[in-house]
Amino acid sequence: MEGTMDGAAMAGKDSALLGKTGAEPRAGDQEEGLILAVETSCDETAAAVVEGGTRIRSNIVSSQVAIHRRFGGVVPEVASRGHVEQITAVMAAALEDAGVHPRDLAAVAVTYGPGLVGALLVGLMAAKTFAWVHGLPLIGVHHIVGHLFAHRLAGGPEPPWLALVVSGGHTELIYIPNDHTFEVLGRTRDDAAGEAFDKTARALGLPYPGGPQIDALASSGDPERYAFPRSWLEEESLDFSFSGLKTAVLNLLNDARQRGDGVRPEDVAASFQAAVVEVLVEKTVRAVRRYPGVPVVVAGGVAANSALRREMDRRAEEEGFLWSAPPLALCTDNAAMIAAAAWPRLSRGWFHGMDLNARANLGLEAWAAGDGVAAFPPDDPPDGRRRN
């Protein structure tokens, strides 16, 4: 079951979190593989129960969008406070909707980076407390890996595959040869694509979050009205750069304002969006040419953008590759994707200890190598603990 909840709806939903204390960590029924996952890396308080890494039993998201809209963007301290207020009830609702008791679980998974450190700490402390109380192993998950695995919840491809991750804080091209290896082919050198959407929306006077607002406004605009720059960087580079595009939009609006000229916001939005989408898709196609026959998954909040999906359809048909994206509800932050990403770690027997801490700038490579893993099979230690 998937759903969203507000504070009133969640009042009193914390009884399922009560239980014994001080139990030794144990792996639950791994055959069924029920994982309770928690996600609080930014402004969504989320918890989910997923079976076997693919079947969503519950997926609860408490959104703070209405709160942060007043400020024109996410305020970290406000986000942290919101998580504190909602986390217990959200976790209880996830268990209740799934019809699951803590004793049925195999593990607890939680995002511990990257993200807003205060927000991460709220979810991490809640997950660690729950795992300790109920004697369950803890699996710390990299937020971007969650986005990478969201497509698995909708029957997406098995490895190997290529991923374009586009969100408010990240823009990366990643090659995934197996469930445990992530090769970053390119990443943004400045602004992420989602960040550029939000800043352009703010410049146009649109409410937060900016991505959906730009998408809607652009639908009635001319994408060729303004020739905004496309940054291709070095010839062979798969990196991205959107700061120049953002600056070009701001300069256009400022110049028009100083001259007293009018601009059609619809045309600005459409021209901006066309520039972002062209670069994202072209870089993805270049990656596909390096790995012919490998399917592509587009993930992250910007994966919901309608122009991006249309252009991916067009280029995929031209180039002869397959691509997919998670359902719109799984493109934005949620905890079901964190459970999906934790499943390979559960199967592998890699668990974190109760000393796991939030990592605002957690690197993908470090996580894949076993950052912070405290328990593991003797014949499969993390890279940093291999014996000669």
Tens of pLDDT, residues 295-316: 999 999 999 999 999 999 999 9
What are the structure tokens assigned to 14, written together?
A: 């914390």
Length of the chain equals 388
- The tokens 């359809």 sit on which residue? 313
Q: Determine whether the annotation assigns residue 211 to a binding site.
A: yes
Percentage of the chain lying above the pLDDT 70 cut: 91
**CB of 62 within 8 A of CB of 6?**
yes
Question: Would you call 377 exposed, middle or buried from its count of C-beta atoms within 10 A (0-12, 13-18, 19+)?
Answer: exposed
Pick the more confident residue, 29 or 263.
Answer: 263
Confidence at residue 2, expressed as pLDDT on a 0 to 100 scale: 55
pLDDT at 66: 81
Is 165 annotated in a binding site? The answer is yes
Q: Is residue 166 part of an annotated ligand binding site?
A: yes
Q: What is the mean pLDDT of residues 50-65?
A: 94
306 is in an annotated binding site: no
Q: Is 142 annotated as a binding residue?
A: no
* Cβ density class 263-284: b for 16+ within 10 Å, e for less: eebbbbbbbbbbbbbbbbbebb
Q: How far apart are CA 76 and CA 74, in angstroms?
A: 6
85 token code pair = 């207020």
Is 151 known as a binding-site position?
A: no
Q: Is 339 left (phi over 0), alpha (psi -120 to 50) or beta?
A: alpha
Of 8-17, 79-88, 146-155, 176-185, the one with minimum mean pLDDT is: 8-17
Taking only the tens place, the pLDDT of each residue in 330-365 is 999 999 999 999 999 999 999 999 999 999 999 999
- Does 186 count as an annotated binding residue? no
Question: What is the H or E stretch that residue 57 is in?
Answer: strand 55-63
Sign of CA dihedral 291, 294, 297, 298: positive
- Say if residue 215 carries a ligand binding annotation: yes
| Topology agreement, domain 2-149+332-385 and domain 158-321 | yes
Would you state the pLDDT for residue 119?
96
The answer to whether the peptide bond before residue 377 is cis (omega within 30 degrees of 0) is no
Mean pLDDT, rounded, of the chain: 90
Q: Output DSSP code: residue 154.
A: G
Residue 352 assigned to a binding site = no
Residue 56 confidence (pLDDT): 98
Annotated ligand binding at 74? The verdict is no
Percent of the chain with pLDDT over 90: 78
> Is 305 marked as binding a ligand?
yes
Nearest CA among 78, 2, 15 for reference residue 46: 2
* Domain formed by 2-149+332-385, architecture: 2-Layer Sandwich (3.30)
Helix segments in the chain, DSSP class H: 7-10, 65-69, 76-98, 117-134, 143-149, 193-203, 210-218, 243-259, 265-290, 306-319, 328-331, 336-348, 364-368
Helices (H) and strands (E) in the chain, counts: 13, 13
Give residue 24's pLDDT: 47
Cα angle 361, 363, 364; round to 5: 140
Q: Is the pLDDT confidence value at 86 over 90?
A: yes
pLDDT bin (cut points 50, 70, 90) of residue 70 is: confident
What are the residue ranges spanned by the domains of the chain?
2-149+332-385, 158-321
What integer pLDDT is reported at residue 234 of this predicted model?
86
Residue 238 has pLDDT above 80, yes or no: yes
pLDDT digits (tens, 9 = 90+) for 249-293: 999 999 999 998 889 999 999 999 999 999 999 999 999 999 999
Is 29 labeled as ligand-binding? no
**What CATH code would you report for 158-321?**
3.30.420.40
